[in-house]
């Protein structure tokens, strides 16, 4: 018996060694083949060869075959990568508008309290040059790059002022020096009371310190009489896992499991538990999610759902249950590498079953129940895996017309807001502001080039194209002409038809330019039908 066991053990050891050798041989083989191909291309290819470009494309294609989140970040992209991770960058703190390379840069939205705002730059001011270099001929991206830089360094703008000030006249060109700073884009965008009982927190990312920011926001709202907390994670693509743990820690007992990460290697499993005392284990919590809520957002909503600690409302989340780690590479590059999957306290894997069942926005598509597994929450409710977090109450967001999307995506509303600022020195407070000049907007938009067809009209055009390809155009001509006459509408008439749908977007764009970004959120909340419906949903109680 001992002899048989010894033979089996030796056989297993030989298989493991052979497997390791096989993997090492395969890796070495393809490294050698790759180098040989590059050398031969460089020596013999008929046209000039951009080795850096084709190597980058090869690396990107290789990593894309694994998953959408494993990516190579070369040294020259480190600044943008760090901004993505930390929500910070070195610059002046302003959003610019420059639709034409031959035009000037216009200050679109300075951030409240930013170096740009403190230097007196306002919406509508035109930047003619940056450190002596004319903005004519520069793209928006090139202009933005010249504005950014190391914190503490100075950049000098030649600015044509929209309005008069302490020492200048409207239209005068003045020199405006600005010292760059580390601009921190807040992960907690808004904190306020929605009514006498509901406190509201809007988060956009899980960056360093956001757990403490949520704790502070909770204390602020509690002092204002909050009886229920609304945590808005819609569109929140995630971030740092430990900050997700910190947020869950605020509302469940110390020592509770929040998430478990499991990698391929044996012994790689890591269990993350709450390590601090909670601030409140009783207050009702409503968490808003949608298909843009991913990663750390799914950790928070999944854990609070598994402990029956919050009512999750909205639509199914994105379905990204993967953990990424950063690995250093030669020449100061970095590899953002998927190293594990994570699981909620009940054992659910948030990751979608595969990458093929995805919606257009990348979120998880429909997964039949037959392909999922059931799990139970702390109080015995049934929840499922298969991708994303399914809300306790599904409340869909408002659907907008094709016209409204076209106005937004083509910058028509943004351009109009800039014109409005030029024509109006001030507006009422956010709560009192109601846009009353819609006919003026219709005239402005009607003069712009953009696709204003309705969805039905665009679909009819596609049908006509298919009929022509199939040789059926003539036989259906009369019917199609009759239908088209019903669907055709002038740009002005369609804009007037969708007035109630478009006005909220105009109001948001306008108030931001007078009262900064928080004002836009407050205006958005006025028309947020999904939020207003969510507030009426029954809480999970036991």
Tell me the per-residue pLDDT of 106-122, one tens digit each, with 9 for 90 and over.
999 999 999 999 999 99
pLDDT at 267: 78
CB atoms within 10 A of CB 532: 13
Residue 51: pLDDT above 90? Answer: no
Count other Cβ atoms within 10 Å, centred on residue 542. Answer: 8
Range in 74-88, 134-148, 236-250 with the lowest mean pLDDT: 74-88
User: What are 413-452's pLDDT values in tens digits?
Assistant: 999 999 999 999 999 999 999 999 999 999 999 999 999 9
Catalytic, out of 198, 290, 306, 528: 306
Q: Locate 146 and state its tokens.
A: 């010249």
Residue 143 tokens, joined: 């202009």
Look over the chain and give the mean of its residue pLDDT values, rounded to a whole number: 90
Active site (annotated) includes residue 280: no
Provide, rounded to the nearest whole percent, the portion of the chain with pLDDT above 70. 92
What is the pLDDT confidence band of residue 81, given thresholds at 50, 70 and 90? confident
Residue of higher predicted confidence among 249 and 98: 249
More confident residue, 75 or 222: 222
Banded model confidence at residue 243, pLDDT cuts 50, 70, 90: very high
Lowest mean pLDDT of 123-132, 259-268, 290-299, 399-408, name the range: 259-268
pLDDT at 266 over 60: yes
For residues 409, 412, 414 and 419, what is the CA-based torsion angle, rounded to 10 degrees? 170
Q: What is the pLDDT of residues 373-387, one digit of tens each?
A: 899 999 999 998 888
Question: Among candidates 382, 383, 381, 385, which has minimal Cα distance to 367?
Answer: 385
- pLDDT tens by residue, 271-325: 999 999 999 999 999 999 999 999 999 999 999 999 999 999 999 999 998 888 8
What domains, with CATH codes, occur in the chain?
Answer: 28-44+51-65 (no CATH), 88-184 (2.30.42.10), 188-323+340-394 (3.90.226.10), 402-454+489-533 (no CATH)
Rounded to an integer, the average pLDDT of 511-538 is 97
Examine the pLDDT at 6 and tell me if it is beyond 70.
no
Q: What was the pLDDT predicted at 80?
A: 73
Mean pLDDT of 505-526: 97
Neighbours of 138 (CB within 10 A): 21
Q: Pick 490 or 27 by higher pLDDT.
A: 490
pLDDT at 77: 82
Q: What is the pLDDT of residue 87?
A: 78
42 versus 1: the higher-pLDDT residue is 42
Supply the DSSP symbol for 21.
Answer: H
Please say if the pLDDT value at position 70 is more than 70: yes
Distance from C-alpha of 218 to C-alpha of 221, rounded to nearest angstrom: 5
Mean predicted confidence (pLDDT) in 134-142: 92
CB half-sphere exposure, 287, CA atoms < 13 A: 30
DSSP assigned state of 430: G
Please tell me the predicted confidence (pLDDT) of residue 331.
87
- Of the residues 86, 144, 295, 346, only one is catalytic, namely 295
Task: Give the mean model confidence (pLDDT) for residues 157-167.
Answer: 93
Confidence (pLDDT) at 351: 87
Reply yes or no on whether the pLDDT at 13 is more than 70: no
CA distances from 270 to 43, 61, 188, 239, 273 (A): 49, 30, 28, 18, 10
The DSSP result for 93-120, as a single string, is -EEEE-S-TTS-EEEEEEPTTSHHHHTT
Question: Between these two residues, 239 and 358, which has the higher pLDDT value?
Answer: 239
Residue tagged active-site, from 297, 320, 385, 528: 320
320 is catalytic: yes
pLDDT of residue 4: 55
Of 354 and 190, the structure prediction assigns the larger pLDDT to 190
For residue 43, the model assigns a pLDDT of 86
Across 133-156, average pLDDT: 94
Residue 354 pLDDT greater than 80, yes or no: no
pLDDT at residue 114, rounded to an integer? 96
486 as an active site residue: the answer is no
Q: What is the DSSP letter of 266?
A: T
pLDDT band at 540 (very low <50, low <70, confident <90, very high): confident
Instruction: Give the list of residues 6+ apart from residue 125 with CB closer than 8 angstroms, or none.
Output: 106, 107, 159, 160, 161, 162
Q: What is the DSSP string of 312-348?
A: EEES------EEEEEEE-GGG-EEEEEEEEEE-TTS-
* 265: confidence class by pLDDT, cuts 50, 70, 90: confident
What is residue 102's predicted lDDT score, i.e. its pLDDT?
Answer: 81
Mean pLDDT, rounded, for 166-172: 92
The pLDDT of residue 324: 87
């Amino acid at each position: 018996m001992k002899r048989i066991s010894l033979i089996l053990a030796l056989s297993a050891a030989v298989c493991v060694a052979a497997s390791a050798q096989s993997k090492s041989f395969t890796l070495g083989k393809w490294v050698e083949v790759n180098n040989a191909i590059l050398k031969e291309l460089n020596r013999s290819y008929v046209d000039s060869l951009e080795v850096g470009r084709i190597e980058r494309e090869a690396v990107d294609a290789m990593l894309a075959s694994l998953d959408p989140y494993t990516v190579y970040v070369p040294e020259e992209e480190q600044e943008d990568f760090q901004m993505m991770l930390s929500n910070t960058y070195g610059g002046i703190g302003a959003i610019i508008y420059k639709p034409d390379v031959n035009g000037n840069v216009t200050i679109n939205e300075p951030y409240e309290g930013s170096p740009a705002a403190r230097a007196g730059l306002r919406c509508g001011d035109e930047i003619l040059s940056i450190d002596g270099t004319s903005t004519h001929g520069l793209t928006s991206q090139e202009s933005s790059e010249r504005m950014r830089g190391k914190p503490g360094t100075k950049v000098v703008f030649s600015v044509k002022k929209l309005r008069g000030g302490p020492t200048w006249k409207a239209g005068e060109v003045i020199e405006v020096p600005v010292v760059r700073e580390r601009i921190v884009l807040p992960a907690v965008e808004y904190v306020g009371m929605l009514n006498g009982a509901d406190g509201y927190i809007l988060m956009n990312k899980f960056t360093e310190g956001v757990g403490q920011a949520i704790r502070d926001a909770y204390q602020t709202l509690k002092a204002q009489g909050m009886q229920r907390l609304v945590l808005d994670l819609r569109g929140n693509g995630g971030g740092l896992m430990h900050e997700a743990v910190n947020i869950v820690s605020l509302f469940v007992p110390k020592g509770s499991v929040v998430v478990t990460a499991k990698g391929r290697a044996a012994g790689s499993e890591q269990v993350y538990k709450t390590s601090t005392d909670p601030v409140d284990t009783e207050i009702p919590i409503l968490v808003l999610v949608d298909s843009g809520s991913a990663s750390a957002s799914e950790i928070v909503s999944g854990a609070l759902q598994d402990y029956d600690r919050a009512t999750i409302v909205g639509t199914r989340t994105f379905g990204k249950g993967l953990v990424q780690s950063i690995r250093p590479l030669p020449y100061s590059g970095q590899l953002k590498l998927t190293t594990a999957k994570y699981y909620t306290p009940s054992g659910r894997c948030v990751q979608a079953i595969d990458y093929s069942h995805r919606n257009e926005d990348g979120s998880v598509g429909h997964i039949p129940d037959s392909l999922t597994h059931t799990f139970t929450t702390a109080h015995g409710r049934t929840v499922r895996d298969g991708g994303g977090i399914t809300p306790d109450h599904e409340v869909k967001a408002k659907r907008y017309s094709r016209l409204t999307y076209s106005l937004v995506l083509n910058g028509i509303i943004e351009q109009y807001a800039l014109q409005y600022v030029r024509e109006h020195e001030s507006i009422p407070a956010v709560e009192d502001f109601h846009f009353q000049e819609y006919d003026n907007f219709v005239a402005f938009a009607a003069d712009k080039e953009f696709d204003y067809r309705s969805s039905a009209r665009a679909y009819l055009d596609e049908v006509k194209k298919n009929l022509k390809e199939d040789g059926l155009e003539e036989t259906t001509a009369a019917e199609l002409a009759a239908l088209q006459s019903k669907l055709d509408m002038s740009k002005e008439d369609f804009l007037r038809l969708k007035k109630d749908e478009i006005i909220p977007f105009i109001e948001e764009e306008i108030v931001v330019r007078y009262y900064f970004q928080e004002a836009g959120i407050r205006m958005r909340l006025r028309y947020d039908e999904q939020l207003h419906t969510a507030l009426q949903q029954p809480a999970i109680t036991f």
